Amino acid sequence: MTNFVYIATSLDGYIADRDGKLDWLEDIPNPDQSDFGYEDFMKGIDAVLMGRITFEKALTFNHWPYEKPVFVVSTRLKKVPTEVEGKVTLLDGDLEQLAADMEARGFHHLYIDGGKTIQSFLKNDLIDVMIITTVPVLLGGGTRLFGDLIRPLKFRHQKTMVYNDFLVKSIYTRIR
Ligand SMILES: NC(=O)c1ccc[n+]([C@@H]2O[C@H](COP(=O)([O-])OP(=O)(O)OC[C@H]3O[C@@H](n4cnc5c(N)ncnc54)[C@H](OP(=O)(O)O)[C@@H]3O)[C@@H](O)[C@H]2O)c1
């Protein structure tokens, strides 16, 4: 099983501003209308596993942005909203067990999304690859990508791509 993080962060390590907004991702220079490798990444993913807050954000978009099955971790949500029924499954419980269950169901490559959710996975050493795109802005506060860990986790730098002298996308793989 391989668990991936694929996320955009500000220079100071935030994935959403203080109001939970993503406006700072909309000002990216993109003369070629590139997706910066997102579709290629998604082709290699079996399912997306995200936190409840990221899910609630995705529900506000004009259209549901995922073609792959989506699993949402939440202790509060008890019912999938009707507009995404059949596309979304709710999960709750021990993360290691959840990851093992997903593997047993044939989901070998998971895209893990949402700050607290990524942090929970990292605390359990369940992240294998991190693809992190840094946007050159200081947000000064907001939702953190990373949090405290019980122990250091080492990664190998695999590759870095620079887009339009603006975005810096780096791929890191876990060394175990
Ligand atoms: N920049 C980017 O590329 C990017 C990407 C994704 C998201 N975002 C932004 O990041 C923000 C969301 O991140 P976030 O850190 O606030 O929250 P999040 O990780 O999306 O969601 C956190 C929630 O997920 C549930 N959860 C997490 N771990 C769990 C576990 N082990 N078991 C059960 N439930 C668990 C809990 O929901 P309950 O409270 O229901 O238990 C928790 O409150 C949003 O503003 C979103 O737009 C940005």
Q: What is the Å distance from ligand 1's center to 54 Cα?
A: 5
Predicted confidence (pLDDT) per residue in 60-98, tens digit: 999 999 999 999 999 999 999 999 999 999 999 999 999
Q: Each residue of 132-173: pLDDT tens digit? A: 999 999 999 999 999 999 999 999 999 999 999 999 999 999
Atom of ligand 1 nearest to the CA of 133: 3
Place of tokens 């699993």: 71
Mutate to test the pocket of ligand 1, among 24, 54, 146, 148 (most ligand atoms within 8 A of CB): 54
pTM of the predicted protein model: 0.97
CA distance 148 to 15: 16
